[in-house]
Structures are given as C-alpha cells and as structure tokens.
C-alpha cells in the first residue's frame, strides 16, 4: 500500500471527504502513513477496523435494490456506532461524525433518486410503480430514524457523548415528502380511472393531465428544481379542475346512499380517501361530509349510552367463556367500531368546524372503553387467582384431580374426568392474550397445566372411542 506523510492528514480537515468511501480510505491510509505517532496509528487502526465491515459495500451502494439498501443500513448503523464508541483518546470527533452522517445520507438519497427516476412513473400503471415508490420512501425514512436514534438516544449516554442536536437529514426529509407527493398524485389518478367512465375520462382529457410533469425529473429534489416542480404542479391542478367537478358528482352518488350505518359509510369513504384529500373535491362535498360527521357523532353517543346503561343480561352468549371474558368481547366489539368511526376525523373530515368536538367525544368514549377493558381483565385475574389459592374451590380441586377414572357402576368402564371449568379457563386465557393482556405468572402456569391435562383428556377420549368401535365390530 502507498505510504503517505503525516502532513497529508489533519483529522479536522473535511473538504476532501466527499463520499463515504473517502472516510474509509482516510483512516486506512493514515494508519499506514510515515512519520505518524504510535498513538495516532493505533487510533486510526481502531477507526479503520470499525468501518471495515461496510468498506467494500459502500462503493456498491448504487447497485443495490431498495430491499438491499434497507438491509445494508443496519450494517452501516452498527459500524458508525462502533466508530463513535471506539475507546480512543481523543474519541472520534463530533464534527467529523456530523459530516460523515451527511454524506451517508446523501449517498442513500442519490440511490433512491436514481432508481425512482428510472421508472416511467407518470405513464406506467400505478400497480407497476407503487411498490417501488413505497420502498424508496421507506429507505429515506428509515435512515433518518436510525440517525435520530443514534444521536438523540444511544449516544446521549455513551462514553463519547453526542452534545449537539439530533441529526435528521433535511435532504432526505424533503425527498421523502416529494416521493409521498408523487405517490399521492398517482394514487388519486388511479382512483379517477376506476371511478369515471371511459367517455368521462376521454371528455375530461384525463390522460393529458400528467403532461406538465413530463418536463421535470420528479425525484431529483434540490433547491434548484423546486420552482420547476411547483410550476408543473400548478399546471396539473389547473387541468384537474374540470375533472374534479365530475369526480365530486360521482362520489356524491357513490358514497352517500340511504344507509343508516355510519361504519359502513366510512368503509366506502376509505376506498376513495386519496381523492377526498383534494381540496376542491372536499369543498364540493362539504354538506355530505358534515352529514357523515353528524352520523358519527350520533353513533359515538349511542356507544357512550350503552356504556352508561350497561347490564350483564345484554352481553353476548360467549359459549365456554367466563363473565369477565364475555365483558371483554363486548368492549372490544364497541372499541373496533369506535376506532373505525374515528378514522375520518384525522382524514377527510378534519377540516370541518365540528370535527374537534366529535374528536373529543371519541377520546372520551375510548377512555371509558379502556377503563371497562382493564376492569374486566383485572376482575378475571383476581377471580382465577382466588380460585387457585383456595384448596376447597372446585377449580383447585379439579387441577389436582385425575384426568381419568374407572366407573365401577359401568363394569369398570374408562371415564374421562376433565373439567369444563378448566376448558373455560384455557379459552379465557387465550382470549386475553390475543387482546394483548399480560397474564400473571401464576395464572399462566395454571393455564399451561390445564392445557396439558386437556390434551391428555382429548387423546384419552379418542382412544376410548376407537376401543369402543373395535368392540362393536367384534360383537
């Protein structure tokens, strides 16, 4: 390897570090330079070793798929974390790390731009490009998540403390927004194609709407390209205006039927939620959206009334479940409906004057449902724990009883004695676990024993049945 003199190397000089590979080479060459102190060589060696796992792949980043970039990010994260936390004196410089994070961000961003710009994003079908657009967006977001986690969480408590602001790359953030914008435009266009007839599409000249974007490179985001993008976007919006009027009319007839079920109306609305994000369409459907908001408010009011007038007799049957478990099923039924009804409040209804009031009602209902949910689980845990601790309680006796016995009244016939109460306990526990409840250790152990006995009992019943069939055949 070529040897360099120490005067070539000043660790605070960064103009020559333009790509991530430059940083790797800097430390690799410094550790082999002449006239460098042993401590400097040792320090450079440690930094070089920290970067060695990713050194060869940094030069190949542009060839990676989005999935490979996401996987590679995890290796880069480990290497730069090792680099920052190397036990050297002095430690890796904060200013140098900030510069390194910026050029890494730029490299990831350019990889995303190159791949997305190679797509015919305006002329290909949305199904052909949507996956690539989503993955490109994910790459930008994931790298910013990694750098924020390192600089705002992990390195705040390390030996080499990060004292600056959390690092989140502006270029990647703006690129992610541009990708999201393109995705939304394409998604809206795809819904228009499905919503309008062939004649309406032809009359509205829908196919020509994307022409303004053909003159710009959609994903080549920088300060110089922003004006051209905004001009293309303004031209596109002007072309869309007459089409939006037709779309609003069709949505009015498609969405607002005479159904009295707001949850069903919300589901239909969500099929066209991208179109409802368009300002002109939202404004054209203001009356209809206000009507839906009123229906959602009434629905949440009914849920609240049900909670206030709760009666055990109104619970669903819930075969094989205890009373607390049946309460949980009842609460989850209303929770899922309330959550579905609330989704438009953060979407296409959020600009309506009464949306805030309905949102407050939802949060109140949600808090009450959570309280009911917690109480149902707590009651179940206390009930089971009490039964297990009481040696005279039937369930405690059943846990220690025989799975099988011989019935002397039936000439010693095999009798399976597994309890229905234990089956109920197992079903309850399975339900609560599926709903994310943390079952106490003692109860979980009892359930595991119950499951073991249950499996044995089932096997014995099957064996008993087969023996009975053989005896009948022999007779």
pTM of the model: 0.74
Beta bridge mates, 416: 404
Distance between CA atoms of residues 142 and 71, nearest Å: 11
Sorted by sequence, the CB contacts under 8 Å of residue 332 that are 6+ apart come out as 373, 435
Distance between CA atoms of residues 114 and 118, nearest Å: 6
Q: Are 352 and 311 spatial neighbours (Cβ–Cβ below 8 Å)?
A: no
Distance between CA atoms of residues 418 and 33, nearest Å: 79
Distance between CA atoms of residues 451 and 445, nearest Å: 10
Which long-range CB contacts under 8 A does 374-378 form with residues at least 24 apart? 376/324, 376/325, 376/327, 376/328, 376/331, 377/324, 377/328, 377/432, 377/437
Helix (H) or strand (E) holding 399: helix 394-399
Sorted by sequence, the CB contacts under 8 Å of residue 407 that are 6+ apart come out as 413, 414, 415
**pLDDT of res. 108:** 97
**pLDDT of res. 1:** 40
**pLDDT of res. 324:** 87
Cis peptide before 425 (omega within 30 of 0): no
Q: Two tokens at 46?
A: 């440690």
Closest CA to 348 of 232, 269, 463: 269
Q: What are phi and psi of 405, to 5 degrees?
A: -150, 175
**pLDDT of res. 7:** 40
**pLDDT of res. 279:** 87
Q: pLDDT tens per residue, the chain (475 residues)?
A: 444 444 444 655 677 889 999 999 999 988 888 878 888 899 999 999 999 999 999 989 999 999 999 999 999 999 999 999 999 989 999 999 999 999 999 999 999 999 999 999 999 989 999 999 999 999 999 999 999 999 999 999 889 999 989 999 999 999 999 999 999 999 999 888 888 888 888 888 888 899 999 989 999 998 899 999 999 999 999 999 889 888 988 888 877 665 567 777 777 777 888 888 888 898 898 988 888 889 889 888 888 888 888 777 767 666 778 888 888 888 888 888 888 888 888 888 888 999 999 999 999 999 988 998 899 889 888 888 777 776 655 555 455 554 444 454 554 454 545 566 777 777 888 888 888 888 888 777 777 776 666 665 556 556 555 555 555 555 5
Distance between CA atoms of residues 88 and 40, nearest Å: 9
- Number of neighbouring beta carbons within 10 Å of residue 475: 5
**pLDDT of res. 260:** 61
Closest CA to 167 of 43, 72, 54, 84: 84
DSSP 315: S
């Amino acid at each position: 390897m070529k040897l360099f003199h120490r005067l070539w190397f000043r660790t605070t000089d960064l103009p020559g570090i333009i790509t991530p590979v430059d940083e790797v080479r800097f430390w690799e060459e410094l550790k082999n330079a002449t006239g460098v102190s042993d401590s400097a060589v040792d320090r450079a060696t440690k930094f070089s070793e920290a970067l060695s796992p990713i050194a060869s792949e940094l030069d190949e980043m542009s060839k990676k798929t989005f999935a490979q970039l996401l996987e590679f990010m995890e290796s880069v994260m480990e290497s730069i974390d090792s680099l920052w936390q190397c036990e050297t004196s002095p430690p890796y410089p904060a200013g140098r790390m900030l510069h390194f994070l910026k050029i890494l961000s730029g490299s990831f961003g350019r990889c995303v731009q190159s791949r997305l710009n190679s797509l015919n994003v305006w002329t290909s079908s949305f199904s052909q490009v949507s996956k690539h657009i989503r993955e490109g967006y994910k790459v930008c977001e994931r790298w910013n998540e990694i750098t924020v986690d390192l600089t705002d969480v992990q390195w705040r408590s390390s030996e080499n403390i990060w004292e600056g602001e959390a690092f989140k790359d502006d270029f990647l953030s703006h690129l992610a927004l541009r990708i999201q914008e393109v995705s939304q435009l394409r998604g809206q266009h795809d819904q228009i194609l499905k919503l309008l007839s062939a004649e309406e599409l032809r009359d509205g000249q829908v196919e020509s709407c994307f022409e303004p974007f053909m003159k710009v490179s959609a994903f080549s985001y920088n300060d110089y390209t922003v004006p051209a993008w905004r001009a293309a976007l303004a031209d596109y919006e002007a072309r869309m205006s007459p089409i939006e009027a037709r779309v609003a009319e069709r949505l009015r007839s498609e969405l607002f039927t005479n159904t009295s079920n707001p949850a069903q109306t919300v589901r239909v609305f969500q099929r066209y939620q991208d179109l409802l994000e368009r300002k002109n369409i939202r404004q054209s459907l203001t009356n209809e959206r206000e009507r839906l908001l009123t229906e959602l408010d009434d629905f949440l009011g009914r849920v609240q009334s049900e909670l206030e007038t709760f009666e055990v007799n109104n619970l669903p049957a819930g075969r094989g479940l205890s009373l607390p478990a049946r309460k949980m099923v009842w609460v989850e039924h209303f929770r899922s409906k309330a959550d579905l009804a609330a989704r438009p409040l953060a979407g296409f209804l959020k600009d309506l004057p009464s949306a805030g009031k309905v949102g407050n009602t939802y949060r109140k209902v949600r808090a009450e449902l959570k309280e009911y949910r917690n109480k149902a689980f707590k009651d179940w845990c206390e009930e089971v724990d009490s039964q297990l601790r009481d040696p005279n309680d039937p369930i405690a006796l059943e846990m220690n009883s025989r799975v099988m016995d011989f019935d002397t009244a039936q000439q010693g016939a095999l009798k399976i004695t597994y309890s229905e109460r234990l089956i109920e306990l197992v079903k309850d526990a399975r339900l609560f676990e599926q709903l994310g409840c943390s079952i106490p250790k003692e109860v979980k152990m009892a359930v595991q024993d119950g499951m073991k006995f249950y499996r044995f009992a089932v096997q014995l019943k099957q064996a008993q049945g087969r023996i009975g069939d053989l005896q009948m055949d022999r007779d």
